[in-house]
Amino acid sequence: MKRPERIAFLTVGEIACWLRVLNKDTASRIFEPAILPLLAGEALRSSLSKDQKAALTGATLSGGVAAYEQVRVPTKSSGLGVAAVVGQHAGFITRLTDKRAAVSARGAAVGGAIVAAGVGLAAWKNRALVPAVALGGTAAVATAALADDERFRRRTTAEGGISHGANLMLAGEGLRLVRNTLLKDKKHNFWIGMLEGLTLGATSVGAMLLVDGVTE
């Protein structure tokens, strides 16, 4: 088996999504932080340079820390959590710039609007999340803007999934923001659980596509 950790990634990810649906917070604190670090094997096994491997491995490990903090304090800005999200995307951005990705004027405008909307929503419904949305949201949007480079979207190899992966991660963060602002006072039920499971699934699959693409 060439990629045993990929089987583990998919298995742990699916279990974690169901734990969200079933509202098992204690178990989620164990499973969710383990998801993204399982993608590190792809980088470590690749032909990338030592520095490039370090950047991408750091991104996946930071993603694990961010996931833990998002489970621990979902409706507040955690200094460690924000730093981990920024670190995660810094690793992705490093690899995207290595590939000479460029942000279009349209991408910059859309990204700025997304961040502004997110900060506005947090300021309106949950001020405690403003720092996380402003810093973490900007990092996620920057990754998505670089990943939207037309050269990647034309590829039929793993690089073709870079844009899809970054957009899925951004969509997942958007759903997380909705849950922790507009729906923060809603008690857990089947539909809230499905929303949380979908959020986790989108960010996890998105990260997988992005890592596979930037590793190529």
Confidence of residue 154 (pLDDT cuts 50, 70, 90): confident
Task: Give yes or no for residue 178 having a pLDDT over 90.
Answer: yes
Q: Do 37 and 13 form a contact (C-beta atoms < 8 A)?
A: no
Task: Give yes or no for residue 155 having a pLDDT over 80.
Answer: no
Nearest-CA neighbor of 55 among 2, 108, 98, 12? 98
Please give the Cα distance from 123 to 132 (Å, whole number): 11
Confidence of residue 207 (pLDDT cuts 50, 70, 90): very high
Task: Give yes or no for residue 192 having a pLDDT over 90.
Answer: yes
| Confidence (pLDDT) at 157 | 79
| Confidence (pLDDT) at 153 | 78
Six token digits for residue 193: 């659980």
Cα-to-chain-centroid distance, residue 207: 6
pLDDT tens digits, residue range 88-104? 999 999 999 999 999 99
Q: Calculate the average pLDDT of the chain.
A: 94
| Confidence (pLDDT) at 1 | 59
| Confidence (pLDDT) at 4 | 85
Output the pTM of the full model: 0.93
pLDDT tens digits, residue range 122-149? 999 999 999 999 999 999 999 999 999 9
| Confidence (pLDDT) at 45 | 87
Please give the Cα distance from 199 to 96 (Å, whole number): 24
Confidence of residue 31 (pLDDT cuts 50, 70, 90): very high
pLDDT tens digits, residue range 3-20? 888 999 999 999 999 999
pLDDT tens digits, residue range 35-82? 999 999 988 988 889 999 999 999 999 999 999 999 999 999 999 999
Six token digits for residue 115: 């961040």
- Note the helical H segments in 154-189: 162-180
Domain positions in the chain are 4-215
